[in-house]
Amino acid sequence: ENQAIGLDFDCDDMYIDSNGKSALKDFGFRKQKQVNAQKLSHLQRQFLRKVKNSKNQEKARIKLAKFEEHIANCRKDWIEKETNRLTDEYQLIGIENLSIQGIMKGSKNAKNYQDIAWSTFVGKLEQKAQHKNCQIVKVDRFFASSQLCHCCGFKNPDVQKFHLQNWTCPKCGTEHQRDENAALNIKSEAIRKV
């Protein structure tokens, strides 16, 4: 139990783990494009204002490209450090097997999903787990992690139907926070699979 953790994907916090901690609030995750949005849009406007095929446009393009590379490097750096921490601390990590591209297609929040780089994060976790004493278990995307009570196993379809963030189990009376409960269910399912 102590050597296992479940990670529930969240478009605002990157993930919520089964200990109730989030990447955003507890582990220093930042949405780099949103943090640097002002400077990025300023550089983009500067580039668009320059005369086409001029030396000034080329200078503005290089400046913009360097800044976008800096954003990507900050994101990669955090992913490297966080995946190292997780694979060092835990022997079993349960994650949702999500299709982020599929989620992005039907979402008005696609920019957020892209900024999180979840598939890069999962890829790095799997890569590092091979060299360390750690196992990554992908839980099926159709597993009702947020709808199940982690205490008694009661399935509450109202959670998904009404997008409830907090709910009380009608069977055992336990109060749940949606994402934390989902992470606990992912952890239990990962342990069960192993």
Catalytic residues: 8, 96, 179
**Which positions ≥6 away from 47 have C-beta within 8 Å?**
57, 60, 61, 63, 64
Contact 16, 27 (CB under 8 A): no
Q: Which residues contact 7 (CB under 8 A, 6 or more apart)?
A: 15, 16, 17, 18, 93, 94, 95, 96, 183, 186
Cα diameter, the chain: 70
Angle between helices 37-49 and 55-89 (to 10 degrees): 160
Going by their DSSP bridges, the two strands 4-10 and 14-17 should be labelled as antiparallel
Structure tokens at 2: 């102590």
One-letter amino acid at 113 equals Y
> Do the bridges between strand 175-177 and strand 135-139 make them parallel or antiparallel, or are there none, so unpaired?
unpaired
